[in-house]
Amino acid sequence: GQNIDQPTEMTATEGAIVQINCTYQTSGFNGLFWYQQHAGEAPTFLSYNVLDGLEEKGRFSSFLSRSKGYSYLLLKELQMKDSASYLCAVMDSNYQLIWGAGTKLIIKP
């Protein structure tokens, strides 16, 4: 079966750095996505990786290793507004998105 694993919850301190991991086992691979979802709101797109390596976008970076079935989302200079759930999703060989359950990130002052 297809599976996306990410931690259920993480806690970090304002101003610090946090890394949210995602491992996947899917039928084929056509890209990995990270979305941010604040409580009670819609998910919003953060990043897309299809090649190995690091993609940096401001305070957020996303890394992919296809051989290891592994990605992480790195958040730097954490702000209170970064408190949200972070969803990892993989597009399989049929171009269908398989979603992880999300990681709830709690930022403490």
Partner 1 sequence: IAGITQAPTSQILAAGRRMTLRCTQDMRHNAMYWYRQDLGLGLRLIHYSNTAGTTGKGEVPDGYSVSRANTDDFPLTLASAVPSQTSVYFCASSDSDANTGELFFGEGSRLTVL
Binding site for partner 1 (CB under 8 A): 4, 31, 33, 35, 41-45, 48, 87, 89, 91, 95-102
Asked if 51 and 4 touch (Cβ cutoff 8 Å), the reply is no
Q: Which is nearer to partner 1, 40 or 109 (CB)?
A: 40
Q: Which is nearer to partner 1, 16 or 50 (CB)?
A: 50
Q: Which is nearer to partner 1, 45 or 80 (CB)?
A: 45
Contacting residues for 4 by C-beta, under 8 A, at least 6 apart = 22, 23, 24, 26, 88, 89, 90, 98, 99, 100, 101
CB of 61 to partner 1, least distance (A): 16
Q: Which is nearer to partner 1, 27 or 44 (CB)?
A: 44
Strand partners, 25: 3
CB of 35 to partner 1, least distance (A): 8
What distances in angstroms separate CA 14 from CA 39, 46, 53, 77, 105, one per listed residue?
19, 20, 27, 7, 11
CB of 45 to partner 1, least distance (A): 5
